[in-house]
Amino acid sequence: MITHNPFTELSAFIPAMVMQIYVIAMAVLVVGGTAIDTLHKKSAKWFFENAKEAKQSATRTVTTGEAVSIAGQTLASEVLTSSEFCNPRRRASHLLIMYGFLTFIVTSAIMVFVYPTGPTPTYLPVLWHLGALMLVIGGYWFWFFIRVDVAAEGTKWYHLVRADLFILSLLSTATFALIWSYLQWTGVPIWETLFFALFVLASTVLFGGVLWSKFAHMFFKPAAAYQKRITKADGSMENLPDFADRSNPADRDRHSMELLKDAPMDMGLGIKRERPSHY
Ligand code: HEM
């Protein structure tokens, strides 16, 4: 099953050009949705004003070389390894979702544009199935066990809010894609058509719903992570006090540290002592 290109069989019913127009339309929806989102929320305006304001409270200037190095660090850390997540399970699930999704959409585009009707190099459909599987594993793990609403707030997994549009449309797209491919292989035409229709519906909601979902975070978060690193490098620190170092007597005398004055130096955060489970 995982070595066959599901779009090849589909091309007997739907011309390759129609598939290609659909993929282009989805890409246009993502670009358009992100642009409208940015204008509507004025997030770009806020971002640049905030960066300008931060610069005014900077204690030193960041050179171009440093800025390039910070961009590289952001790419290697926050973007490629999801380092913003403190919870290792959430980080692992995000990595599975992110790399699964990227593998899935890149191989989909290659198969639809380059090999829609003919023989396909085996590695492409293998990666397509593997990407969808990674997305499904990371996504359901997140949905049922890791999400803060379920893991910490005691909310039931089936309690839905609008913010869930992104993860649910993402999960439905990958789930229906895998079931559709499996049905092609086992050959039950009616079910195959039904799950293909569900796959298209889910992916249209995913790519068409950018304006209402968290989809665009994959473009905004890298910029925000870069800006956060810059504020640390130029000393502006988003107008926050420096990180407290209790081995420094001046820090120990801060008003906010009063309660910790006589505490042992290796005392950890009380909040991390026990996982929340009292509901
Ligand atoms: C293919 C790209 C990506 C996919 C599919 C993806 C997927 C997701 C999903 C499903 C969530 C959980 C959303 C929810 O709470 O419902 C999430 C959250 C998050 N993602 Fe990503 N992500 C991607 C790229 C990125 C990148 C590049 C970054 C950072 C540089 C990032 C940072 C975050 C952060 C910090 C959160 C948690 C905060 C929040 O929920 O807003 N993601 N991502």
Q: How does residue 231 score in pLDDT terms, banded at 50, 70 and 90?
A: very high
Give the residue with greater pLDDT, 72 vs 275.
72
pTM confidence score: 0.90
- In angstroms, the CA 186 to CA 183 distance is 5
Cβ–ligand 1 contact at 91 (below 6 Å): no
Q: What was the pLDDT predicted at 261?
A: 78
Q: How does residue 278 score in pLDDT terms, banded at 50, 70 and 90?
A: low
Cβ–Cβ under 8 Å, residues 165 and 134 = no
Instruction: Summarize the confidence of residues 105-123 as an average pLDDT.
Output: 95
Nearest Cα residue to atom 33 of ligand 1: 221
Q: What is the three-class DSSP state of 42? A: coil
Cβ–Cβ under 8 Å, residues 126 and 2 = yes
Instruction: Summarize the confidence of residues 69-73 as an average pLDDT.
Output: 98
Per-residue pLDDT tens for 83-102? 999 899 999 999 999 999 99
Cβ–ligand 1 contact at 150 (below 6 Å): no
Instruction: Summarize the confidence of residues 215-239 as an average pLDDT.
Output: 92
Atom index in ligand 1 nearest the CA of residue 74 equals 30
Q: What was the pLDDT predicted at 163?
A: 93
Q: What was the pLDDT predicted at 238?
A: 79
Cβ–ligand 1 contact at 162 (below 6 Å): no
Atom index in ligand 1 nearest the CA of residue 84 equals 35
- In angstroms, the CA 55 to CA 230 distance is 9
Count, residues in the chain: 279
Question: How confident is the prediction for the chain on average, in pLDDT?
Answer: 92
Residue 2 in tokens: 């995982």
Atom index in ligand 1 nearest the CA of residue 135 equals 5
What distance in angstroms lies between residue 89's CA and the mean position of ligand 1's atoms? 14
Q: Cα angle at 135 between 131 and 141, to 5 degrees? A: 145
